[in-house]
Amino acid sequence: MTILRERGCIEADAGEVGAGREDGASGAAGSADNYRMRTGAEVPGNTRTEIAGNARLVHEYMDYLRVEKGMRPATCEAYACDLEQFAEQVERRDALLLTAVEADVKDFMERMRANHVDARSVARKLSCLRGFYRWLLLDKRTQADPTVNIETPASWKVLPKSLAESEVAEMLDRLGAAARTPQTEGCGRDAAALALRDSAILELLYAGGLRVGEIVALGEEDVHLDQARAQVRGKGDKERIVPLGRRAVEALDEYIKRGRPSLAHAGMQRALFLSVRGHALTRQWVWEMVRAASVSVDGSVHRASPHMLRHSCATHMVEHGADLRSVQRLLGHADIATTQIYTHVAMEHLKQVLREHHPRGKRRTVVGC
């Protein structure tokens, strides 16, 4: 069976298949389909004269997502990949995205299941198709939605992973101490500036629950330390005000005063967090930095990530009694149902509180006769 191609946006799920290159006649046909979708041109000898319309349609939908919905480039690229995969499916029967029927969507999902694609990934691709055909209906380009009767595949709800408070405190204190030690200051301006920058990033990730994309997009003018807050642009270009705690304010103040001037060099750079060459940081670099910072002095590894610090921020707030509406506003969730998952994460903590403080919750030692 032909393997579905991800073409640069392979899912992170280990069970998902689809990065391989096909061989033989099916591989040649797949390459032709990919070429046609990327360029909008006809493949020589192909009798489907209107296939270029699929590429134009996907391109227009991407413009709609970027301009009107304010979606990030990475999200748009993932959606384009999903639509191109589905376009390959309908093109096998000489059809267009505009003329796709319910059977095409069912076949698309069945092919993914046959290739052991994770249920959550199948659900995400189906969600992409639903949004695409809603857009076509609103734009009066089609009169039927082939996804309307398709059920979302059931999948296990994966609870977000978070670090214990002691693990976060150990990591933040260790990097904060490294940024303040005379040894770091004496080994060069750049080394001291980088230590201050890394400490400020970690404090901000945990204190404000920011996404990694929000961190790298943060500008110097977006931080107002005198008011202990930051102005963050999140998903869908939605802005929110994130309050900052004392530790985060102190770390940012040190970095802005002592660290950033050494990294900015002569060029004018809007980004708050800069590389050693004076450029804005990338998302991948922040991921690597957090992963490296999670290695303890004794060699133990917590395998932290920027998003894990975001989850830790929310989980610890809920454990300490914060209401869900406040956590929702802090994280920038559009739907409170997304925030409610942290009540499940905090369940073990609640069980411990029950055992310690409820009169009938304490474990009693059975005394023998």
Point out the residues that are catalytic.
211, 235, 307, 310, 333, 342
**Inter-residue contact 91 to 54 (CB < 8 Å):** yes
> Rounded to an integer, what distance in angstroms lies between the CA atom of residue 368 and that of residue 83?
69
CA angle 248, 338, 158 (to 5 degrees): 100
In the chain the first and final C-alpha atoms are separated, in Å, by 70
Angstrom CA distances, 97 to 34, 50, 56, 89, stand at 15, 11, 11, 10
- Interhelix angle 52-67/119-138, nearest 10 degrees: 90
The β-bridge relationship of strands 229-233 and 223-224 is antiparallel
* C-alpha closest to that of 211 among 238, 232, 229, 196: 232
Lookup: tokens for 301: 């590894």
**Inter-residue contact 339 to 328 (CB < 8 Å):** yes
> Rounded to an integer, what distance in angstroms lies between the CA atom of residue 223 and that of residue 232?
9
> Rounded to an integer, what distance in angstroms lies between the CA atom of residue 369 and that of residue 367?
7
